[in-house]
């Protein structure tokens, strides 16, 4: 029965693999550092990606599921390590990156990089004691500030609401490759191709389903000036923003993979022991 | 299995309890001393695997319910909050979402096992029917659960499925509104789906108890489909079956873990990471993979038969596709249980498995997708210039669009050469075999297998020689193995 089922399964799966005729152009594969079971994020790339988000994307796109503290959590772009000084009650010698000998992970709310980023934003809220609208400096616990004062403004301003970017690499098929291709893929439309309904505010991009997208091309050379001195080519910025958004879609993904290895090794040993026990129990039984 | 109990209380407390509530006796007779056919293969470990799946779903589900908010405004973000902020929430949510797929994978193997080895035949009809009841409850629970994350596919899946109830004459629309709690999928729907999604697993657990009870009355079937005759045919459940089940469960968990930790999104749809939007319909609305074959059957009917509309016909067939399993024990007329000894039925079974897979593929495609096409699209045109004369030209293309493009080129060339005039054209469409037609053929085989093959073949097929006892079947197999080796 097993052999028959295998044949059946192969026969059945065969037609599936050839059926992906997509309407949009297939994005080219990029060799991401975070892809695959062993993949991790390069902290520099995710930091640069955050800078691109902050200076370019955030003008129109929300990121509702992210808080500033996320940036400093384990695996985040601004995760840092330092030495806790109990006498003064502050962290000293704080440096970006994983803890090494003698330093400890700095909790995100104390992380000076995260605090600085959060404080760069103004938060408008209602003061509960007076009922008046006030503005205050951002805190690590605050959600990423939206460029809109209400959800209707996005659509009113742009015609289509720009999608929220919290989950964008998960919300598109082959998300990371798609995003990279989309950001770098703007071209002149092929001969005879015109925007639907003669719209004038659409841009041609073969990777976008239907070919016509509301978002104008963004990543022109030197659109941002990278803090770390990296040359801001469109390709570089596209890779960085994709890395950042891939991290943001699931900040716990590196923990997930690491836990996965430990779990599989545990199950492998347990399985081997159980198999040995099974052989032992059944050794004298004809079956 | 029914028979004298071999349980002997060893301590004073056990004796005291045994006279008042003999649970220890029941457990001993069911899971320790219970006689198990010695020729069972690994397909018989899926009962234990399914038990693991049910417990996993209930335990992770209870934890998720502590953090989930069933409201149209918050549901989507509350799932993200679980994945991002709740300690180990990412793990629990991944296990629960992947677990649904694993549960169905295991139950399908379990069901195909029952089908191949004739585990539904007398005296196991009630056992089989209870299994089908569990399966129906599982599909309902999975459908309800898929709505809860309130993504685009959650919302539109729920819209499509509840919409099918309107196909039922007279009472259809009231039933749909009653299910939705209003006139559209909205907060009321989400709330009641959450409530029912929490309820049904416990109903499943209840029916599982009946399923196991029925199993332990009749005893397990086995790959040779022979009745157990004496003690030489069996081994005690513990340690023999328990250790084998545990090993199989761990192997299954390794596959489960691979999906949970390394491919958590592989079984889902990207659209469900977009919050539900009643104003934006996704280009393709598809259910989860485990419901695709039934979705294909539902959509296979694109014609009406008398008073039965296409929609109602599809609904009836989809319900019938599962419903027919309830009467399967009486459709199969063969006296031989296991297809190991049914040389012809075996091939019809393999074809049935393939049909189910391909139906699943059809369910994921657009119904208009062309599977095969004979020839090309042809546009025959006749151009009559105002100056007189007549020019004919033909454009072809693999699709209508390509043919039109080719046609436009020729037209432009002809007109620029000959000046203005009038044009007539005829489009010839080639024969196209589409997903809908393929689904129709496969649906025909699906029902043909149950309604024609099993009843007729059972009477006409000459079965192979069935060994008299399990012990003899084993020694025959080992003998053959020795011969092969020599």
Q: In which residue are the tokens 């006409």 written?
A: B460
* Tens-digit pLDDT profile for residues B231-252: 889 999 999 999 999 999 999 9
Is residue A121 within 8 Å of A139, Cβ to Cβ? Answer: no
Q: In this structure, are B49 and B108 located in the same domain?
A: yes
Q: In this structure, are B297 and B350 located in the same domain?
A: yes
| Partner residue facing B235 (CB), from A163, A275, A285 | A285
| Structure-block tokens of residue B317 | 């067939």
The answer to whether residue A75 is domain-embedded is yes
The answer to whether residue B19 is domain-embedded is no
Q: In this structure, are B212 and B113 located in the same domain?
A: yes
Q: In this structure, are B384 and B363 located in the same domain?
A: no
Mutate to test the interface with A, among B73, B238, B244, B442 (most CBs of A within 10 A): B244
The answer to whether residue A250 is domain-embedded is no
pLDDT over 70 (residue B481): no
- Angle formed at CA B132 by CA B25 and CA B95, multiple of 5 degrees: 80
The strand ranges marked E within B77-119 are none
Chain B hits for A278, Cβ within 8 Å: 243-244, 246-247
Q: In this structure, are B366 and B380 located in the same domain?
A: no
Q: What is the pLDDT of residue B392?
A: 85
- CB environment B51-66: b (16+ within 10 A), e (fewer): bbbbebbeebbebbee
Find the domain containing B406 and state its range. Answer: 376-429
The strand ranges marked E within B198-293 are 234-236
CATH number of the domain at B171, please. Answer: 1.20.810.10
Q: In this structure, are B284 and B390 located in the same domain?
A: no
Q: In this structure, are B349 and B394 located in the same domain?
A: no
Distance in angstroms (rounded) separating the CA atoms of residues B188 and A216 = 40
Indicate the angle between helix axes B310-323 and B152-164, nearest 10 degrees. Answer: 100
Structural domain ending residue among the three candidates B327, B353, B370: B370
Q: What is the torsion angle, in degrees rounded to the nearest 10, for the CA atoms of residue A225, residue A231, residue A233 and residue A239?
A: -90
Total number of domains in chain A: 1
Total number of domains in chain B: 2
A194–B contact, CB cutoff 8 A: no
Q: What is the torsion angle, in degrees rounded to the nearest 10, for the CA atoms of residue B194, residue B198, residue B200 and residue B205?
A: 170
What is the separation of C-alpha B136 from the centre of its chain, rounded to a whole number of angstroms?
10
C-alpha closest to that of B342 among B175, B224, B214, B479: B224
Q: In this structure, are B177 and B312 located in the same domain?
A: yes
Is residue A169 within 8 Å of A176, Cβ to Cβ? Answer: yes
Q: In this structure, are B340 and B232 located in the same domain?
A: yes
The answer to whether residue B266 is domain-embedded is yes
B289–A contact, CB cutoff 8 A: no
The answer to whether the CB atoms of B354 and A286 lie below 8 A apart is no
Distance in angstroms (rounded) separating the CA atoms of residues B138 and B140 = 5
* Tens-digit pLDDT profile for residues B326-336: 999 999 999 99
The answer to whether residue B450 is domain-embedded is no
The answer to whether residue B224 is domain-embedded is yes
The answer to whether residue A20 is domain-embedded is no
Strand pairing partners for B427?
Answer: B379
The answer to whether residue A118 is domain-embedded is yes
Distance in angstroms (rounded) separating the CA atoms of residues A204 and A210 = 9
B208 to chain A, minimum CA–CA distance in Å? Answer: 26
Q: In this structure, are B95 and B121 located in the same domain?
A: yes
The answer to whether residue A287 is domain-embedded is no
CB-based contacts of B278, cutoff 8 Å, min separation 6: B155, B184, B185
> Three-state SS across A12-68?
HHHHHHHCCCCCCCCCCCCCCCCCCCCCCCCHHHHHHHHHHHHHCHHHCCCCCCCEH
> Which pTM does this prediction carry?
0.92
Q: A210-214: which pairs have CB atoms within 8 A and are 24 or more residues apart?
A: A210/A23, A210/A24, A211/A24, A213/A182, A214/A158, A214/A159, A214/A160, A214/A162
* Tens-digit pLDDT profile for residues B364-405: 999 999 998 888 899 888 888 887 778 888 888 888 888 888
Which residues numbered 232-261 in B keep a CB inside 8 Å of some CB on A? 235, 239-240, 243-244, 246-247, 250-251, 253-254, 257-258, 260-261
pLDDT over 70 (residue B486): no
| Structure-block tokens of residue A33 | 């550092």
DSSP one-letter code for B151:
B
The answer to whether residue A90 is domain-embedded is yes
Range from A189-193, B54-58, B134-138, B347-351 carrying the lowest mean pLDDT: A189-193
Q: Is the ipTM of this complex over 0.85?
A: yes
Mean pLDDT of chain B: 93
B267–A contact, CB cutoff 8 A: no
Find the domain containing A78 and state its range. Answer: 67-142
| Partner residue facing B38 (CB), from A13, A267, A285 | A285
Distances from the Cα of A25 to the Cα of A263, B90, B268, angstroms: 38, 33, 22
Q: Which residue has the higher pLDDT, B4 or B268?
A: B268
C-alpha closest to that of B441 among B363, B359, B345, B375: B359
Range from B184-193, B235-244, B473-482 carrying the lowest mean pLDDT: B473-482
Q: In this structure, are B328 and B425 located in the same domain?
A: no
Q: In this structure, are B235 and B108 located in the same domain?
A: yes
Q: What is the pLDDT of residue B482?
A: 64
**Could you say which residues of chain A have pLDDT below 70?**
1-23
The answer to whether residue A202 is domain-embedded is no
The answer to whether residue A8 is domain-embedded is no
Structural domain ending residue among the three candidates B355, B370, B385: B370
pLDDT over 90 (residue B462): yes
* High-pLDDT (> 90) share of chain B, %: 80
Structural domain ending residue among the three candidates B370, B391, B410: B370
Exposure of A31 by Cβ count < 10 A (0-12 exposed, 13-18 middle, 19+ buried)? Answer: exposed
């Amino acid at each position: 029965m097993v052999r028959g089922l295998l044949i059946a399964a192969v026969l059945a799966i065969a037609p599936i693999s050839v059926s992906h005729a997509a309407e949009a152009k297939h994005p080219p594969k990029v060799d991401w550092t975070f892809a695959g079971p062993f993949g991790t994020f390069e902290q520099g790339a995710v930091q640069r990606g955050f800078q691109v988000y902050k200076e370019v994307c955030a003008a129109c796109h929300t990121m509702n599921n992210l808080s500033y503290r996320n940036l400093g959590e384990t695996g985040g772009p601004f995760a840092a390590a330092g030495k806790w000084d109990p006498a003064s009650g502050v962290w000293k010698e704080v440096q970006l990156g994983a803890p090494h000998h003698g330093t400890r992970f700095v909790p995100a709310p104390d992380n000076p990089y995260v605090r600085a980023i959060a404080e760069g934003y103004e938060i408008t809220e209602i003061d509960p004691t007076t009922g008046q609208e006030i503005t205050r400096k951002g805190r690590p616990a605050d959600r990423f500030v939206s460029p809109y004062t209400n959800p209707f403004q996005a659509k009113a301003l742009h015609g289509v609401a720009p999608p929220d970017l919290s989950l964008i690499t998960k919300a598109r098929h082959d998300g990371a490759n798609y995003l990279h291709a989309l950001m770098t893929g703007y071209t002149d439309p092929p001969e005879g191709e015109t925007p639907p309904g003669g719209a004038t505010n659409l841009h041609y991009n073969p990777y976008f389903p239907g070919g016509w997208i509301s978002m104008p091309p963004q990543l022109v050379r030197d659109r941002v000036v990278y803090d770390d001195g990296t040359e801001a080519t469109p390709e570089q910025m596209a890779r960085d923003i994709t890395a950042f958004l891939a991290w943001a879609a699931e900040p716990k993904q590196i923990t997930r993979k690491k836990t996965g290895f430990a779990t599989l090794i545990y199950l492998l040993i347990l399985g081997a022991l159980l198999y040995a026990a099974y052989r032992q129990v059944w050794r004298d039984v004809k079956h | 299995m029914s028979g004298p109990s071999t349980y002997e209380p060893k301590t004073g407390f056990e004796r005291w309890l045994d006279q008042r509530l003999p649970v220890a006796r029941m457990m001993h007779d069911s899971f320790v001393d219970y006689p198990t056919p010695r020729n069972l293969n690994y397909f018989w470990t899926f009962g234990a695997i399914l038990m693991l799946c049910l417990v996993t779903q209930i335990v992770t589900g209870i934890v998720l319910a502590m953090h989930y908010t069933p409201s149209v405004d918050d549901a989507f973000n509350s799932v993200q909050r679980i994945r991002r902020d709740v300690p180990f929430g990412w793990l629990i949510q991944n296990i629960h979402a992947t677990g649904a797929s694993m549960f169905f994978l295991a139950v399908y193997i379990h069901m195909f096992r029952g089908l191949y080895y004739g585990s539904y035949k007398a005296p196991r009809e009630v056992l089989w029917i209870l299994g089908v009841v569990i399966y129906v409850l599982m599909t309902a629970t999975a459908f309800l659960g898929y709505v809860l994350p309130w993504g685009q596919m959650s919302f539109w899946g729920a819209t499509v499925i509840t919409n099918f109830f309107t196909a039922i004459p007279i009472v259809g629309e009231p039933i749909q509104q009653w299910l939705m709690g209003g006139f559209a999928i909205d907060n009321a729907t989400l709330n009641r789906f959450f409530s029912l999604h929490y309820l049904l697993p416990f109903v499943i657990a209840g029916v599982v108890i009946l399923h196991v009870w029925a199993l332990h009355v009749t005893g397990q079937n086995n790959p040779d489909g022979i009745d157990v005759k004496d003690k030489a045919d069996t081994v005690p459940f513990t340690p023999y079956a328990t250790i084998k089940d545990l090993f199989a469960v761990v192997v299954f968990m390794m596959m489960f873990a691979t999906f949970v930790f390394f491919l958590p999104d592989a079984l889902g749809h990207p659209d469900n990471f977009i919050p539900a939007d009643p104003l934006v319909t996704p280009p393709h609305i598809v259910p989860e993979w485990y419901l695709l074959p039934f979705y294909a059957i539902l959509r296979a009917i694109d014609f009406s038969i008398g008073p039965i509309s296409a929609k109602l016909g599809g609904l009836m067939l989809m319900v019938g596709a599962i419903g027919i399993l309830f009467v399967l024990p009486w459709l199969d007329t063969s006296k031989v249980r296991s297809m190991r000894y049914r040389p012809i039925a075996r091939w019809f079974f393999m074809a049935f498995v393939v049909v189910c897979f391909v139906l699943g593929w059809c369910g994921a495609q657009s119904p208009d997708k062309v599977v095969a096409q004979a020839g090309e699209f042809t546009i025959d045109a006749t151009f009559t210039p105002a100056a007189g004369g007549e020019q004919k030209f033909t454009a072809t293309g693999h699709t209508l669009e390509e043919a039109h493009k080719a046609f436009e080129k020729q037209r432009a060339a002809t007109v620029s050469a000959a000046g203005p005039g009038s044009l007539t054209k005829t489009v010839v469409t080639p024969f196209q075999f589409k997903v809908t037609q393929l689904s129709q053929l496969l649906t025909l085989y699906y029902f043909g297998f149950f309604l024609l093959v099993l009843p007729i073949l059972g009477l006409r097929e000459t079965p192979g020689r069935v060994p008299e006892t399990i012990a003899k079947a084993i020694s025959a197999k080992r003998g053959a193995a020795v011969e092969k080796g020599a």
